[in-house]
Amino acid sequence: MPSSRAIAVNGIELYLLEAGQGPLVLLCHGWPELSYSWRHQIAALARAGFHVVAPDMRGFGNSSAPADVGAYSIFHTVGDMVALTAALGESKAAIVGHDWGAPVAWHAALFRPDLFTAVAGMSVPPPFRGRGRPLDTLRENGISNFYWQYFQTPGIAEAEFERDVARSMRALLGSGFSDASASLFIDAAKGFLGEVSADRPLPHWLSEADLAFFVGTYQRTGFRGGLNWYRNIDRNWELTAPWQDAQIRQPSLFIAGAQDSVVTGLIGAKRINELERVLPNLKGRLIIDGAGHWIQQERPEQVNAALIAFLKDNAV
């Protein structure tokens, strides 16, 4: 069983799960998740000889959730991982991210190659910085109902998700982005969740006890902290201007589910096919047949095997 503690970093407190000894490996979760999302990886990586640390990211779970929307930029979230590495007494780390944690991991490797010596991302490809701000680009292309846009105005998505947290988490984790046919465009009359039954059966990889853990946490914290990450999408584009067309040269690994709607769309599929443009030292590209978005929970054996092999060869 991992131990847990809170640690002061970068002006906030991060709650973390921790296990093992050896080279440091940071596990960064996404939305709407928690350090608990790595429950299948923590012990496995620790047994393989690594010091594994999985924080509740800023705005989530037991970690601090600043009120200011601007406190959730990519500089803040990467800064948390830089400060966490230092607080743990290390000068090098491997970093792994899933969903929103993947951009944190990719940018950590991009911003601080001296510190993050190996990087793995799941479900979200590495940064391809476009020519304009992402939300502006959507509008200019006549798109007004993409889920990023739905999440922008504080209070709207929160109200939908917090109306019945158990139903929301059953919908988000029970399907969410895990169906290749799932639409990421919002019907204003149905909201993000659509018409999901509160007693919808869970997928085989998510137990009622697992769901109850997520539900209990989000009933206590609400959803605003995590949604604030989306409210920095344009700000992140502005902040990362100095890294336009930059490459991540450290050893890298990409893992995704073949049924993940984040990577099956036109843009996602194109980026998967062009990973080497940003990752010239890509060591592996694992696309798992039949799996969806919550890949480390859905297919822990395959994910763990790929991570351990990658980290044993590349973690310092």
pLDDT in tens, 222-235: 999 999 999 999 99
Q: What is the pLDDT of residue 179?
A: 55
Unique residue bearing structure tokens 């929160």: 158
- When divided into structural domains, the chain yields a total of 1
Rounded to two decimals, what is the model's pTM?
Answer: 0.96
**pLDDT tier for residue 263 given thresholds of 50, 70 and 90:** confident
**pLDDT tier for residue 207 given thresholds of 50, 70 and 90:** very high
Give percent above pLDDT 90 in the chain. 82
Rounded to an integer, what distance in angstroms lies between the CA atom of residue 264 and that of residue 27? 24
Q: Is 87 a residue whose pLDDT tops 70?
A: yes
- What is the 8-class DSSP label of residue 69? G
- What is the side-by-side strand order in the sheet with 24-28? 3-9, 12-19, 51-55, 24-28, 93-98, 116-122, 252-257, 282-288
Residue 59 Cα distances to 168, 204, 233, 266, 279, angstroms: 18, 29, 16, 31, 29
Average the pLDDT over 197-226 and give the result.
Answer: 92
Give percent above pLDDT 70 in the chain. 95
For residue 216, give its domain range.
Answer: 3-314
Q: Is 197 a residue whose pLDDT tops 70?
A: no
**pLDDT tier for residue 270 given thresholds of 50, 70 and 90:** confident
Q: What are residue 61's phi and psi, to 5 degrees?
A: 55, -125
Q: What is the pLDDT of residue 191?
A: 87
Rounded to an integer, what distance in angstroms lies between the CA atom of residue 67 and that of residue 128? 29
Q: For residue 121, give the CATH number of its domain.
A: 3.40.50.1820
Rounded to an integer, what distance in angstroms lies between the CA atom of residue 74 and that of residue 87? 20
| 280 cis-preceded (ω within 30 degrees of 0) | no
- What is the 8-class DSSP label of residue 130? -
Q: Which residues are catalytic?
A: 99, 293
